């Protein structure tokens, strides 16, 4: 069961990484609102290219949310999640080597928390959160 969870989570992280890299268009992937007071929905990348136009665009809060989840931020989160996942992969006996005092069977609370962050993604199984 753990293998299925880890495999699914790795596939999800791969997908997020791929989409973020594509959205960077060769840049660093930092997005910002150009002028939130005058053009609340217009978002540009670090090279000044428009990512979201201000016509028919999201609200100011929506635009801010988009910039908080720009490709650079998504890639940093994917990298951190991969490091956390690696530290909490179960050992040959099914125990978490980081949380383990030889009593914590996988998934540990940390692995379950990583999984829960992606609970709205397709093919997620609620029973994976049972710790």
The confidence score (pLDDT) of residue 58 equals 78
Q: Report which secondary-structure segment, H or E, holds 50.
A: strand 50-52
The pLDDT tens digits for 24-48 are 887 778 888 887 777 777 888 888 8
For residues 95 and 106, give the distance between their C-alpha atoms in angstroms, rounded to a whole number. 5
The b/e string for 34-46 (b: 16+ C-beta within 10 A; e otherwise) is eeeeebbbbbbbe
The b/e string for 94-112 (b: 16+ C-beta within 10 A; e otherwise) is ebbeebbeeebebbbebbb
Report the predicted TM-score, pTM, of the whole model to 2 decimal places.
Answer: 0.84
The pLDDT tens digits for 73-83 are 999 999 999 99
For residues 51 and 42, give the distance between their C-alpha atoms in angstroms, rounded to a whole number. 8
Residue with more model confidence, 110 or 39: 110
Query: 27, exposed or middle or buried, with CB in 10 Å at 0-12, 13-18, 19+?
Result: middle
Residue 77 CA, chain-centre distance (Å), reads 5
């Amino acid at each position: 069961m753990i293998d299925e969870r880890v495999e699914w989570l790795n596939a999800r992280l791969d997908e997020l990484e791929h989409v973020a890299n594509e959205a960077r268009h060769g840049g660093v992937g930092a997005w910002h609102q150009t002028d939130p007071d005058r053009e609340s929905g217009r978002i540009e990348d670090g090279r000044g290219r428009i990512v979201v136009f201000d016509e028919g665009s999201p609200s100011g809060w929506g635009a801010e949310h988009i910039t908080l989840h720009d490709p650079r931020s998504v890639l940093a989160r994917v990298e951190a999640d991969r490091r956390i996942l690696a530290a909490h992969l179960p050992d040959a006996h099914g125990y978490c080597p980081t949380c383990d005092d030889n009593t914590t069977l996988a998934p540990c609370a940390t692995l379950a928390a990583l999984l829960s962050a992606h609970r709205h993604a397709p093919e997620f199984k609620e029973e994976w959160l049972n710790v």
